[in-house]
Structure 1
Amino acid sequence: MDSILKSISFIFHPLLMPLLGVIFYFSKTPRFIPDPIIKAKLFSITILTIILPMLLYYLLKTLNKVHSVYLESTNERKLPLLLNCFIILLVLFRVLPQNEIPELYFFFIGILISTITCFILAVVKFKASIHMIAASGFFMFAVALAIHFKININGTIALMCIILGAIGTSRLHVKAHTVLELIIGFFVGLMPQIILLNYWM
């Protein structure tokens, strides 16, 4: 059980959630989008939101700016979060401009707002759970898409509720966060997605 709880943090890593949101959108949208465009978007998102942050992490570790992938202190979080803001801006301007796929554009606007909020919290020495921020943001986006496209994703919603609970349990088990940090993280990820619904639904 100990190894399972620890592995959950790796399996549902925050870096994966933006890509999962994009994959979920392309798998559920009733709109016709040519396969080459879908593949190009997925490739670009993978490079920018997963590969590039990993390379930047190793650079920061080499420069002794961070000490572990867990970013255990608020001071360690500041620079990676700031760099992630620039990466998301790059996605918004170069990969997912508003006039192409508005749902994904505002999904990433929500991610940007959550990241900025997490950065501000780190500045004031509060360590909100990035795992919960990412997972709850994806969860709300999936629910919003189901309403928007009028599709039944009850199974996905049930699975996501279980996953959110598992992530919270995992983070508590490894003593990475307190209950308050998990709750704040949940709402930091959830609320921007809810607020932005007015712009694309």
Structure 2
Amino acid sequence: MKEFILKGISFVFHPLIMPLLGILFYFSKTPRYIPEPVRNAKIFSIVILTIILPILLFFLLKTINKVNSIYLKSTRERLIPLFINCIIIVLILIRVLTPEEIIELYFFFLGILFSTLTCFILAVFKVKASIHMIAASGFFMFAVALSMHYHININGTIALMMVILGAIATSRLHLKAHTSQELVIGVFTGLVPQFILLNYWL
């Protein structure tokens, strides 16, 4: 039962869903008026580009034996998926979330791009960082920044996110997917770009 729960945590809070959670969180908290058709179009685009497309590309890479599992256990098999993900995020920044339209989400995804690039560079040098922790901690920093930006009280949400971060870390350690050092590297890789970019929109 314990094994099932911990695997479930890793699956439910998979890195692929974190960009979508970020945009949903933003639209649920922002006091700015954004027409519903615009919101729906952005959400739909993010689902296609950050979830469905990467899954399809994963199966393609698996078919040609470039990756073994969705968890990308070795640094070598991380290189191509991370590079492709960088291209996808650049496409989002150019075509979907421009700074003139929704500046907060633009810098959120710019932070994701920097985190992904950092993870790619680390993988080139055979340093493994937890992609789960990168994604979750980046989303956490963005949520905290939004609460500061719009002066909204989300203390309960922040507390829940911290519990979820702990649960993800526990899950990855228990499943022997990462060492504690790799988890710490992941946290900083996710947090730092979002934190640095706060200067440009907060």
The TM-score by the shorter chain falls in which range? over 0.9
Aligned ranges 1:91-106 → 2 under 5 Å: 91-106=92-107
Report the equivalent of 1:58.
Answer: 59
TM-score normalised over the length of structure 2: 0.99
Aligned ranges 1:34-113 → 2 under 5 Å: 34-113=35-114
Q: In 2, Cα distance between the equivalents of 1:70 and 1:151?
A: 36
Report the equivalent of 2:182.
Answer: 181
For residue 191 of structure 2, what is the amino acid of its counterpart?
L
Q: Secondary structure in 2 aligned to 1:196?
A: helix
Give 1:2 deviation, angstroms.
1.5
For residues 15-68 of structure 1, the C-alpha deviation after alignment (integer angstroms, 9 at most, x for no partner) is 000000000000000000000000000000000000000000000001110011
Q: In 1, Cα distance between the equivalents of 2:145 and 2:166?
A: 20
Q: Secondary structure in 1 aligned to 2:178?
A: coil
Aligned ranges 1:1-201 → 2 under 5 Å: 1-201=2-202
Q: In 2, Cα distance between the equivalents of 1:55 and 1:89?
A: 19
Q: In 2, Cα distance between the equivalents of 1:8 and 1:194?
A: 26
For residue 2 of structure 1, what is the amino acid of its counterpart?
E
TM-score normalised over the length of structure 1: 0.99
Structure 2 alignment gaps of length 5 or more = none
Aligned length: 201
Q: In 1, Cα distance between the equivalents of 2:50 and 2:90?
A: 11
Q: In 1, Cα distance between the equivalents of 2:58 and 2:93?
A: 22
Q: Secondary structure in 2 aligned to 1:97?
A: coil
Q: In 2, Cα distance between the equivalents of 1:83 and 1:120?
A: 14
Aligned identity (percent) is 72
Structure 1 consecutive aligned stretches of length 4 or more whose deviation exceeds 3 Å: none
Give 1:99 deviation, angstroms.
0.4
Q: In 2, Cα distance between the equivalents of 1:5 and 1:50?
A: 22
For residues 147-167 of structure 1, the C-alpha deviation after alignment (integer angstroms, 9 at most, x for no partner) is 000000001000000000000
